[in-house]
Amino acid sequence: MLENVVSMLPELWTAFGQTMTMLAIGLTSAVLLGGPLGILLFLVADGQSLQHRPLSLLLGWFVNTVRSFPFIILLVALVPLTRIIAGTSIGPLAASVPLSFAAIPYFARLVEQNLREVPRGVIEAAHAMGASEFQIITRVLLVESRSGLVLALTVLAISFLSYSAVAGVVGGGGIGDLAIRYGYYRFETDIMIVTVAILVLLVQLIQFAGNRLARRIDHR
């Protein structure tokens, strides 16, 4: 068993790198696109400063529709778009396209929920002092909710670690692909155990880092 695992170390390292690539691209897309989308969802909701019911309904419909798709179905449905963007439908970069597409509305909803936790009195006080919408977003909303946003990003990272494993099943590469090819198809239980152990360790590390950072920046 040990010899088999040792001989697989180069492939395990490659698979680990592919998983990290998919996770990094997906999380970056979530922060850069899903974050602003979540802020907009909050601002145009009923009772907020930029209340706009038609836009709120449209954005809510989009977010809920994408989130309602099981990831494996979304993965297959986006193959044509993946080929246009990545030039191929296999590999970690190709798998990052549906991962990003799923991460954006997922994180947007988490951002919106965290912003709703900001005391309304704090926002009204900022308005009363003449703060602009941009100042309220950057100096009030994001500052007051930063701890929750870190935890939201932690939840997203852990969820999409499992999604990346699913992406590996259909040619995305990564730890999930390795587990299926060797642990399932070839009945090499030791490889399956090692890949599962790696995923469990990654989840524990991500959760630990997220919790620690959230506590550190939470000054409430």
Q: What are the pLDDT digits (tens) for 78-100?
A: 888 888 888 877 788 888 888 88
Architecture of the domain defined by 2-217: Orthogonal Bundle (1.10)
Convert the pLDDT of each residue in 163-200 to its tens digit: 887 776 666 678 877 777 777 677 777 778 888 888 88
- Amino acid, single-letter form, for residue 128: A
Residue 89: DSSP 8-state:
S
Contact between 121 and 144 (Cβ < 8 Å): no
List for the chain the helix, strand, coil content (%; round to 5). Answer: 85, 0, 15
Please give the model's pTM, rounded to 2 decimal places.
Answer: 0.87
Domains of the chain: which residue ranges? 2-217
Two tokens, residue 95: 């798998």
DSSP H or E stretch at residue 172: none
Contact between 100 and 29 (Cβ < 8 Å): yes
Band (220; pLDDT cuts 50, 70, 90): low
**How far is Cα 52 from Cα 208, in angstroms, rounded to an integer?**
39
